[in-house]
Structure 1
Amino acid sequence: MGKTLNDFILDVVPHPVVPPEKLLTGSSQKWGWVVMDPFSQLIFTISVTSFLTFQWLFHKVSPWMSTRISPGFLSLSDKQKVEWNSRTVSTFHALLVGIFCLHILLFDDAVNEDPVWGDPTLVKTNVAITTGYLISDLLLIFYYWKAIGDKFFVVHHLAALYAYYYVLGQGMLPYFANFRLLAEFSTPCVNQRWFFEVLGYPKSSRPNMANGVAMAVVFFMVRIAVMPVYYSRMYAVYGTEAFYLVPWGGRVAWICSSICLDIMNIMWMHKIARGCYRVLRSARKSKAGAPQENGKTD
């Protein structure tokens, strides 16, 4: 049988399997110095590389590609260009992490069999990539606050980084941390809607309508339809020995954040569904001969 991606990483940087009851943070103390184990060093390196890569994509790659792919990019204001580049990087991150997440859900038996303390090797790698992205995005949000500043995104990013501390530092809850990253699959469609809007595409145009329907369907599939699966796994481990090995901070970061995020997901799904319905209804009226401009009837 061929080696899996998990086996490859283990071959490159061997690391000991740590019993969950010890709750090690990926470092040890030797002669008064705190020394990171080889795998923690790899995860740290991945996070730093991710941060630098997303900064490079924002400042160099996105502007260069956008001017060649979309001529309308040059006519945007400076603030719009900042948000354009930010959303381009966001789309790339979402696709990269989402595909990695799906691979783990389908093929990582260790995590699927033990959702609380299963071998978190691949999940840590994926979360390290996301951690680098979140820190990069936070830096850009603060630096370009007038263009893309948003208090909600600051709170969201900080809450996510707090939760990821338990995954990267203590290797706990790998299944649930990875499952949450499925939501990234809805990001490209959300960003594409903004691209169409800023480029002046009518809401009733075929590309805009197709993206709107895709956004509603994908958002429902990766954020709403998966809720029963997620919470059934949570209920299955609640009260078990593995559950009580998770410290209080980890439980709060896990349970409370999950509930809050899903309440917001339901609210967003309601808005997306209503918007999709209005656009489709406007398109039908337009075909019937009703006067229309930019997807809205007079």
Structure 2
Amino acid sequence: MEFFNQLILAVSVASFITFQVLFHYLSSWVSTCVSPGFKKLSEKQKIEWNSRTVSTFHALVVGIFCLYILHFDDAVNEDPVWGDPALVKLNVAITTGYLISDLLLIFYHWKAIGDKFFVVHHLAALYAYYYVLGQGLLPYFANFRLLAEFSTPCVNQRWFFEVLGYPKSSKPNIANGVMMAVIFFLVRIAVMPIYYERMFSIYGTEAFYRLPFGGRSAWMCSSICLDVMNVMWMHRIARGCYRVLRSRRKLEEDAQHNGKIE
């Protein structure tokens, strides 16, 4: 067990270092090769670009690991409260390293990417992950929540298109917007019944009462608050997607109409 705790610590530290290297060195180099428009950005925009690139990489790594655990980790799926948290701890350790790295970057580049909401979000997440990494509690639910990371790449891509000057009515922007709405719904809204059905099946059981009060409170309160925000965000995304699709359709109808007149 002592060796495993050291492994978790090593993964967290390695994760922190990796994301720092990605931000300071690799992101700019790759972005320059992939997108010529990167060189034309302001210094502030480049900082946010690199931050979002790192965010996208983290989301894909953790999200894929999360799916693997949900499909193949029988111990966690059969006992969501006290099941063997080994793989979940590794995944959460990667996220912990990322969150600490991102917090450091937010504070250091506050004028460019400073955001009080993200500071609160990261600190709250680290508090919840303490119970997973420190005590191995609720591995299934901790891992399930990481499914939400799959919506991050599309959200970041939307910002990339915007800063590069792509019109909102352009095909790449619309395709990404529709994909963002669909994925956000699938990984943050559609999964709610599964999550809460599992939560209610645990409530009142012996496994539930074995949880410390702090762990129970962090789990239930954070879940409700997070999903209230998810519903609000989904409403805004859906409205934005509808407006863009409607304006695109209107432009196409106008173009067809003008073509017939000519």
Shorter-chain TM-score category? over 0.9
Residue 171 of structure 1 is aligned with which of 136, 147, 168?
136
The aligned residue for residue 73 of structure 1 is 38
Return the TM-score normalized by structure 1.
0.85
Query: Partners of 1:61 and 1:158 in 2: how far apart?
Result: 26
Residue 5 of structure 2 is aligned with which of 28, 34, 40?
40
Query: Partners of 1:147 and 1:251 in 2: how far apart?
Result: 37
Residue 56 of structure 1 is aligned with which of 21, 25, 32?
21
Secondary structure at the aligned position of 1:203 is classed as: coil
Secondary structure at the aligned position of 2:83 is classed as: coil
The aligned residue for residue 241 of structure 1 is 206
Q: Which amino acid aligns with 1:274?
A: R
Query: Partners of 1:54 and 1:245 in 2: how far apart?
Result: 36
Query: Partners of 1:245 and 1:143 in 2: how far apart?
Result: 41
Query: Partners of 1:247 and 1:45 in 2: how far apart?
Result: 27
The structure richer in helix per residue is 2
- Structure 1: which 5+ residue stretches go unaligned? 1-14, 16-36, 291-298
1:184-223 equivalence runs, <5 A: 184-223=149-188
What do the CA deviations read for 1:200-241 (whole angstroms, capped 9, x no partner)?
001111100000000000000000000000000000000111
Secondary structure at the aligned position of 2:29 is classed as: helix
- Structure 2: which 5+ residue stretches go unaligned? 256-262
Query: Partners of 2:179 and 2:71 in 1: how far apart?
Result: 23
1:1-298 equivalence runs, <5 A: 15=1, 37-289=2-254
What do the CA deviations read for 1:109-132 (whole angstroms, capped 9, x no partner)?
000000000000000000000000
Tell me by how many angstroms 1:252 deviates.
1.1
The aligned residue for residue 33 of structure 1 is none
Q: Which amino acid aligns with 1:52?
A: I
What do the CA deviations read for 1:70-109 (whole angstroms, capped 9, x no partner)?
0000100010000000000000000000000000001100
The aligned residue for residue 34 of structure 1 is none
Tell me by how many angstroms 1:148 deviates.
0.2
Tell me by how many angstroms 1:289 deviates.
1.5
What do the CA deviations read for 1:254-295 (whole angstroms, capped 9, x no partner)?
0000000000000000000000000000000000117xxxxx
Query: Partners of 1:220 and 1:289 in 2: how far apart?
Result: 31
Secondary structure at the aligned position of 1:289 is classed as: helix
Query: Partners of 1:289 and 1:59 in 2: how far apart?
Result: 47
Q: Which amino acid aligns with 1:228?
A: P
Query: Partners of 2:39 and 2:27 in 1: how far apart?
Result: 12
What do the CA deviations read for 1:19-48 (whole angstroms, capped 9, x no partner)?
xxxxxxxxxxxxxxxxxx100000000000
Give the fraction of aligned pairs with identical amino acids, expressed as a percent. Answer: 80
Return the TM-score normalized by structure 2.
0.97
Count of residue pairs brought into register by the alignment = 255
Q: Which amino acid aligns with 2:201?
A: A
Tell me by how many angstroms 1:249 deviates.
0.7
Query: Partners of 1:166 and 1:263 in 2: how far apart?
Result: 23
The aligned residue for residue 30 of structure 1 is none
The structure richer in strand per residue is 1
Query: Partners of 2:245 and 2:133 in 1: how far apart?
Result: 44
RMSD: 0.6
What do the CA deviations read for 1:148-177 (whole angstroms, capped 9, x no partner)?
000000000000000000000000100000
